[in-house]
Amino acid sequence: MKRSDVESEALLGAGEPLKRAIDTRQLGLSLRTVYEGSVDTQPITDIHVELLLRLRQKERELRRAN
């Protein structure tokens, strides 16, 4: 099995598991396409900008302390 494949079990009608490989690279590309077409185009809210700025400030404080 390739490194990027993951085994998945789906149930057949009689409750017997059917094993199949999922290509995680293909899944990742599909998710990225959906993300770039919807979420990525949305603006960042003021709340998120404030949280990012506070995080950056904390990181600077930690670097100065070391």
Place of tokens 């009608």: 13
Domain count within the chain:
1
Task: Say what the pTM is.
Answer: 0.41
25 is in which domain, residue-wise?
5-65
Q: Strand, coil or helix: what is 14?
A: coil
d(CA 60, CA 41): 29
Q: What is the pLDDT of residues 13-59, one digit of tens each?
A: 556 565 677 888 899 999 999 888 888 788 889 999 999 999 999 99
